[in-house]
Every structure is written in C-alpha cells, then in structure tokens.
Amino acid sequence: MKQLITLMVNGNPYQLAVEPYQPLVDVLRDDLKLTGAKKGCGHGHCGTCTVLLDGKAVNSCLTLAVDVEGCNITTIEGLVTDGQMNSLQKAFIKEGAVQCGFCTPGLIMMAKSLLDENPTPTEQEVREAIVGNICRCTGYAKVVKAILSASEGR
C-alpha cells in the first residue's frame, strides 16, 4: 500500500505516494526525474547512487524513501547554484577526473560530504572517504587529486 510522504530535495518539498519498500534512488529517478544519482548495482556495492541526507553521504539504493521524510536530501542536481558549479565540480573538470562519468555524481556527493566535515583532508583521508565508490575508468588518481584541489581552494 502506498504511503503519502513529503520529501525535501535540494530545498524543494515534494509530496509523493510511495510503496514502503521503495528505495530513495528509485523515487528520485522515477518520480522526481532527478536522474543524476545513478543505479549501478542496487545493493550498496558501487556508490553511484550516493546522495546527501542531512549533509551525510548515503547510498540512496539502501535508503527507504519512507524513512527519510523530514530530512534534507541533496542530489548532484542541487550542487549548481545560480548557474555556478560547486568547487568540486570545477575541480573534477580541471583535473580530468571524469571519464565515462557514471560514477562521477556519486563520487562528487561523497567528496562533498567529506569536505563539509573535514575541509583539509589528507590524501589517505580522501581515499578512505571514497572507498565505497567504485570507479573503473580512472584508477582514482585524478579523482583524489580533484578532491584535494577542491579542498585547498575552498
């Protein structure tokens, strides 16, 4: 039986009827058409669906939509403000940290969660933070550089 909930996503309230078993990623993608969060595995193994829940990174495939009513949800679409990209997005471009791009939104959200908590992480701390985000294209080298450069540039 569907339940009526209100989700706060990127600062906007959305009233939705969702099944109690629906993961947040499906609600974001299918109901709200916010397809920036990708569904790489649906089991919390790849990190492509990472979004922020009250500022903390979560796998939106392992988060039930009905459980996050009242939370502030931020997706990759919420990082651009007044047409300006976030410093992480700019750094990913500058450092060449993007290849196929499928893991990119999840990685950027995970990195944002890290930098919001720890604005000057070490390389090891960056590597630890993104350990749940699989990237098959880059070997993480330029991803780590991009996150470090965004942290310095804040």
What the block records as the tokens of 139 is 């070997």
Chosen residue from 18, 59, 60, 142 binding other proteins by CB under 8 A: 142
Residue among 67, 116, 117, 123 that touches other proteins (CB under 8 A): 123
Q: At closest approach, how far in Å is the CB of 146 from other proteins?
A: 10
Least distance to other proteins, CB of residue 80, Å: 6
**Exposure b/e, 111-145, CB count within 10 A at least 16 = b:** bbbbbeeeeebeeeebeebbeebbbeebebebbbb
In the bound state with other proteins, the residue whose beta carbon lies nearer, of 30 and 67, is 30
Asked if 133 interacts with other proteins (CB under 8 A), we say yes
* 39 touches other proteins by CB under 8 A: yes
Question: Does residue 139 touch other proteins according to CB under 8 A?
Answer: yes
Which of 24, 73, 98, 115 is in the footprint of other proteins by CB under 8 A?
Answer: 98
For residue 80, state whether it binds other proteins (rule: CB under 8 A): yes
x-or-dash string of contact with other proteins, 19-38, rule CB under 8 A: ----------x---xxxxxx
Smallest separation, CB 81 to other proteins (Å): 12
Under a CB-based contact definition with an 8 Å cutoff, are residues 76 and 56 in contact?
Answer: no
Binding site for other proteins (CB under 8 A): 29, 33-43, 45-46, 48, 75-77, 79-80, 85, 89, 92-94, 96, 98-105, 108, 123, 126-128, 130-144
